[in-house]
Structure 1
């Protein structure tokens, strides 16, 4: 019980890191901008730009999740863009008043959204194909207004495109469709007036009417602001609509849910290009930071990582490795040609990911994906669990089997808790970063325990009088502390895979569009569990038939192999969590199944472990020889 309580306390501390004090972050942004203005007035443009960037990365990113959750992706992006505009204005040496006006406008907007993000709807799960509504707590499956909003948002974009083409007729047609077909005829107008706010309806109607009447007479800035206001007013109103309003909405045919990651890939390419320009201009630190943010803000926050991880985990792992390699190349001062070559390698993997993500994912495809996830993620844990169980049985320690059952049960429960906590702030770069760091730390702690257990087994493999040894030494050692090591070994083996497995299944559930699809996911999962159980009993039975000395040696070798793999993968999780930037070793290949990555930070500890293993085996052999001579 002490073990369980201590781990829960650790997890609670980790989850506390996920919490964000929105008021504090807003004050910090405001205070930083005061310093930015002071620095700019003093002629220190470079530091002013760096502080502006700090305001975004260190503080606004912590607000961004709340903005996305309650006001949608578009609002978050629009606010994010203002930080970039302020930075550009400073770089372009614009007058102080212009920069102060831009800062005041952004600060005012942050204050305006604070009450909404502090008291607004909680996140269910963000999906990029519903205009941010599900991220605002409105599940598209249950809320008929979400489809209406999607159509309005799409037509608002058509208005913007028509303006760029100076097509007055197209502007009028699109706006009339929004006002009459989508806003009025669907009875959204009545729902907002009755259940949300009649003044909000008046504002929406007034802005729509103004765009229709003014048409091309509006300048571009005024038009875009009007379209933005319409979008945000309707979105905010829909968030407020209660379930009683659903009766007014038209019946909507539920189509297969599908996320288009093409915009995500395009954003990654554009931002990578910008990061390369920064690197080439001598801003190495800024470029490295930007590449890390691209990974979290685009690849992970869009849901693309979990989607690809659910259907092709090696591709996901290879894509993550490409991000890390680009960062490492920049840190090493590599030539632009080498970085561009690795970026192209990344783009190729992203294109493959796009093709896989766009494939039909219904019926049997979902069954296969669901089956492969549990087999892939569960098999490593199964080997360790089966080895520990077989060890306890072979050494007449059946009474300690409850250690295994309790550690597995708690690991599974806490896997769901961790996944839920991550989902509460899904879409925030902090969420992805914290998850990677948590996974990395879990792996590295597991390495210490695995290495300990491996040596413990190996040191006992040479005992001659097994009946005497089993009756005494092993039972004593278990009762005096090694039981805790076994508990943690099993726990970490299961927990390490657990939370990620839950998130992969969540990605599959997002793709399900019918009861049949949900049934196929469930069937795939259950089939995988059955296969794992069969494998468990086969491994356990086979282990019991092996003489105890070969069993100890074989088990310790498997554990040592997994320890070395975990070191490499654990370090890479910390790299992906932006804990540090890796140092690349040219010419070393990536061999993920061995945990080999071309970085000093992973290869050096792996090399030290191998040397420690060789030295340990030599010492054990020498002790056993001396012991046998003395008998």
Structure 2
């Protein structure tokens, strides 16, 4: 016993040394042998499945992954790419799924052949690539010739990458629960809020390479595509893990950008500086890809690509809303470029026309980037923006509501004013609720928001036109005293009051929800509490200004003779209906409900709701025809009435 114990120990030591000691070519895995064994197992799985033994086939696919391919996965990730390693890994699961679902034998065999070919295709890179080595333990000195210790990592970048990982993991959970649209939006947020707006993208571009940044953005797009294409949730989660690993790989030695500090107190924390130049580059890259798709003979896919770039890049990055808060005309100009490119593609435009459209778009995006700048807003700037928002968005509503209220007062129906006040209060409450639901609860896509606003505008156009006709028809009445004394009460029955209520409601609601969203965006840009107070002050000042506008307009309208008042109010409401009809259809175009047909010669006049598209022109032409028809009817009615009065006088 005494002799045998040392002998056993010696034999064990020799065997252990033989197993673990590297020598020559055995210093790395025998990739060929592993691939041969993986191929053999997959071929056997295919044969078992063809013979009707699905359980054995499934188990062999699992065995091929867990017992064999996992030894190849790390080297493929290092020497080829993390994405390729994951694709090959995921393919085992897909083959297993096909077997479970009873897919045709030929399809399973073809998938196995593709997988085997894909694995063997990585062999040259593995044999010529680096050998994975264990890192020295803590406190252990690296061997001579070993690479130097990695550079330190900024804690700020570590937290940014960790946040990206959390956002993708949460998106995978939401996706698995069945909410693919919400998951896709969360993945977009991981790309824009996590990677881009944190300025990690800018740091990667500046201190690593444009190629590295392009690879990261491509990986984000691939992961978003998994959610869009209905791939399993585990693929999204695993891809997120791989992406986080790749991001962590570039962090050692990655410095903070100028002016950034790793830590600030809560009150000193600056709002994130948006890389609007990067967003512009992303937009134009998507447009270039769409043009390439169009020139490749697939206009439908190209049009969809342009529309997706509008929502997934321009709107989702926050650039669209940042411009809407500061310069709506510039925002409208940029939005129009997307629709114009789509219109050109739909009209089978030449490469030269597309190139011209693309160049104009690039020039305007460059101007927008310069306009937005790169820093946070001063309290004074926030005050001015807050003031302008409420004045701008409230003015149209004030015009319509003032016209309705003044009409009631001038016709002796002051007691009906509470009906209009009620509609305004309901509209304000629902506006705020709609904005909150869109932003926080439903998290509706940008396209859904465009459709909601477009539908509201078109409905408002119909209501305003009917009111316009009604008011102008009253202006044609010959005996105003008799009308006011005898017919106002009858004409203002429950139906008419409902129409007036609905018109004022739509006027306020149409502007209200958008106004709330604008203020949310403005608050997000505020760096400190002083900025928040500046926004509150601007809103208060703007509200006082609207009250003053209302008082001046109502006072002036009350002084007008009743006939000119009815004519002017009717024409105002008709003009608003005309504008809403064009803008409403434009919102539906931007919401991808309608694919635009470009009318190249038509001018673009956003203030009048005129855009160079057939879809926006048709309802406006219908309104013009309806107005002409209404005028003819009113003229005939007036002529008939005059004849009847003349006849009555003659008989008298």
TM range (shorter): 0.5 to 0.7
Bigger Rg, which one: 2
Cα distance per residue 1:315-360 (max 9 Å; x no partner):
1111111111110110011112111211221222211221222165
Aligned to 2:302: 287
Cα distance per residue 1:363-398 (max 9 Å; x no partner):
211111111111111111110000000000001111
> Are 2:287 and 1:272 equivalent residues in the alignment?
yes
Is the contact made by 1:131 and 1:153 (CA closer than 8 Å) also made in structure 2? no
Using the alignment, how far apart are the partners of 2:542 and 2:116 within structure 1?
Answer: 59
Distance 1:231 1:441, change over 3 A: farther
Aligned to 1:420: 436
1:97-176 equivalences in 2 (<5 Å): 97=112, 114-115=172-173
Distance 1:561 1:222, change over 3 A: closer
Using the alignment, how far apart are the partners of 2:448 and 2:469 within structure 1?
Answer: 32
Aligned to 1:307: 322
Aligned to 1:226: 245
- CA positional deviation for 1:264: 1.5
- CA positional deviation for 1:557: 0.7
5+ residue gaps in structure 2? Answer: 1-82, 92-109, 119-166, 214-239, 252-262, 646-652
- CA positional deviation for 1:468: 2.2
Aligned to 1:171: none
Using the alignment, how far apart are the partners of 1:549 and 1:155 within structure 2?
Answer: 67
Cα distance per residue 1:401-421 (max 9 Å; x no partner):
112111111111111111112
| Higher RCO (C-alpha under 8 Å, 6+ residues apart) | 1
- CA positional deviation for 1:604: 2.2
Is the contact made by 1:296 and 1:433 (CA closer than 8 Å) also made in structure 2? yes
Cα distance per residue 1:229-285 (max 9 Å; x no partner):
7899xxxxxxxxxxxxxxxx9857513443222221111111111100110111000
**Which among 439, 443, 461 is matched to residue 447 of structure 1?**
461
Aligned to 1:319: 334
TM-score by length of structure 2 reads 0.62
1:103-502 equivalences in 2 (<5 Å): 114-115=172-173, 226-228=245-247, 253-358=268-373, 361-424=377-440, 431-502=445-516
Using the alignment, how far apart are the partners of 1:356 and 1:339 within structure 2?
Answer: 26
TM-score by length of structure 1 reads 0.64
DSSP-derived class of the 2:356 partner: helix
- CA positional deviation for 1:625: 2.2
Distance 1:559 1:101, change over 3 A: farther
> Are 2:585 and 1:571 equivalent residues in the alignment?
yes
Is the contact made by 1:128 and 1:259 (CA closer than 8 Å) also made in structure 2? no
> Are 2:623 and 1:609 equivalent residues in the alignment?
yes
**Which among 548, 558, 569 is matched to residue 544 of structure 1?**
558
Is the contact made by 1:127 and 1:302 (CA closer than 8 Å) also made in structure 2? no
Distance 1:332 1:223, change over 3 A: closer
Using the alignment, how far apart are the partners of 1:448 and 1:387 within structure 2?
Answer: 17
Aligned to 2:134: none
> Are 2:540 and 1:526 equivalent residues in the alignment?
yes
Distance 1:127 1:381, change over 3 A: farther
- CA positional deviation for 1:526: 1.1
Using the alignment, how far apart are the partners of 1:311 and 1:525 within structure 2?
Answer: 14
Using the alignment, how far apart are the partners of 1:223 and 1:601 within structure 2?
Answer: 46
- CA positional deviation for 1:114: 4.1
Distance 1:102 1:502, change over 3 A: farther
**Aligned Cα RMSD in Å?**
4.0
Distance 1:459 1:157, change over 3 A: closer
Is the contact made by 1:389 and 1:401 (CA closer than 8 Å) also made in structure 2? yes
Using the alignment, how far apart are the partners of 1:102 and 1:493 within structure 2?
Answer: 64
Distance 1:111 1:468, change over 3 A: same
Using the alignment, how far apart are the partners of 2:201 and 2:285 within structure 1?
Answer: 24
Moved more, 326-335 or 599-608: 599-608
Moved more, 306-315 or 344-353: 344-353
Is the contact made by 1:284 and 1:331 (CA closer than 8 Å) also made in structure 2? yes
Moved more, 342-351 or 254-263: 254-263
Using the alignment, how far apart are the partners of 1:261 and 1:547 within structure 2?
Answer: 53
